[in-house]
Amino acid sequence: MLPCSMVPPSVTWGNCHTNNDSIAYADRIVICASSRTCNPRSSTYYSWSPDEAHPQIVTHDVNSSFIATNYDFKDIRPGRYQAYYALYNTTVNGGTPAAEDIITVPVDGFAFQFDTMGGVYSFTLDARNQSSKLIPNMNIHTIVPANHLNILLQIPQYVVLSIAEVLFSITGLEFAYSQAAPTMKSVVQALWLLTVAFGDVIIIIIAQLDLFSDLAIEMFVYAIAMFVVIGVFALIAIFYYEYADFGDEAASTATTATAPTYSTVSLADNDELLPEKKI
């Protein structure tokens, strides 16, 4: 931020009580859309409280040093913005003050515009000596470049991933159910889900080991491993595995369990069961 000697006299709050060239402003600042007035309840209003201002000593030479102020990073929507010194006259507990409850003074030389998304930038605002006069000097440093592709291009990828997950889960559970004996269906399905969990654990272990410096290479390795597993499963299904049919066994088991049983009693061999004759 600018030194206190360049802060407007109307900024009567904060740490700039004197025209000091060795200390920067270290209080609340806000940025607002240039086309609108500063309204804390607007979606284009961003504020940095004094707690988010961190002092840093900058040494120019042995006999000269400057106490700069660093503010935390925040996510900002694309647009054109102007920075302001800000003071909240009224503090709302747990809420946001209204536009009439704040005082804003523009920061000279601190206006910027960007129309892209995904980038990370660092702004430095200092004083530059020009013709024996200090003027604001703002620099923009690109930490992460902005996205070159539209984020909507991720939609087809999510669609393909969702379809693949659904088809894989349904066919896997169906295979585990149909190829298991009637008394083992629940156990085999549980083992299938357990193998899925082990696969997720393998991915977590590889990610934690940090074996790849580039995330794209790591994703390609996962894809290659998936194709290898698909090939192994295809060979097993074609040449080695014999499909079991438990339909007849299940039907016979159900018939045996539900068929009634009858016993034959001979009345001739048991006189006690014959009705008595009356004369």
Helical axes 215-235 vs 185-209, angle rounded to 10°: 150
Distance CA 151, CA 140 (A): 24
pLDDT in tens, 131-152: 777 788 888 999 999 888 888 8
Distance CA 99, CA 88 (A): 10
Which residues face 135 on adjacent strands? 128
Which pTM value belongs to this model?
0.58
Distance CA 166, CA 70 (A): 48
Average pLDDT, the chain: 83
Kind and range of the H or E element at 71? strand 64-71
Q: Do 158 and 132 share a structural domain?
A: no
Is the pLDDT reported for residue 271 higher than 60? no
Distance CA 99, CA 32 (A): 12
> Sorting pLDDT into bands at 50, 70 and 90, what band is 126?
confident
What pLDDT score does 236 carry?
A: 87
Q: Do 95 and 9 share a structural domain?
A: yes
Tokens of 118: 């995904």
Q: Do 89 and 132 share a structural domain?
A: yes
pLDDT above 90 as % of the chain: 20
Mean pLDDT of the region 121-140: 83
What pLDDT score does 46 carry?
A: 93
What pLDDT score does 220 carry?
A: 92
Number of domains in the chain: 2
Mean pLDDT of the region 83-102: 81
| Cα dihedral 37, 39, 45, 47 sign | positive
Domain that includes residue 188, residue range:
151-255
Mean pLDDT of the region 107-128: 87
Residue 236 is classified by DSSP as I
Q: Which residues of 153-167 are buried (b: 16+ CB within 10 A; e: fewer)?
A: eeeeeeeeeeeeeee
pLDDT in tens, 156-209: 999 998 998 888 888 888 888 888 888 888 899 899 889 889 988 988 998 888
Distance CA 212, CA 12 (A): 53
Residue 113 lies in a domain: yes
Residue 279 lies in a domain: no
Q: Do 18 and 119 share a structural domain?
A: yes
- Higher pLDDT residue, 258 or 24? 24
> Sorting pLDDT into bands at 50, 70 and 90, what band is 272?
low
Is the pLDDT reported for residue 255 higher than 70? no
pLDDT in tens, 31-40: 999 888 888 8
Tokens of 172: 């896997």
Q: Do 251 and 120 share a structural domain?
A: no
pLDDT in tens, 207-220: 888 888 888 899 89
pLDDT in tens, 36-57: 888 888 989 999 988 898 888 8
Q: Do 61 and 26 share a structural domain?
A: yes
Provide CB contacts within 8 A for 273, sequence distance 6+.
265, 267
Kind and range of the H or E element at 193? helix 185-209
> Sorting pLDDT into bands at 50, 70 and 90, what band is 263?
low
Boundary (domain end) residue, out of 144, 169, 195: 144
Residue 13 lies in a domain: yes
Residue 271 lies in a domain: no
Distance CA 97, CA 252 (A): 76
Residue 273 lies in a domain: no
Provide CB contacts within 8 A for 96, sequence distance 6+.
40, 41
Q: CB burial class (10 A; 0-12, 13-18, 19+) of residue 105?
A: middle
The number of residues in the chain equals 279
What pLDDT score does 130 carry?
A: 72
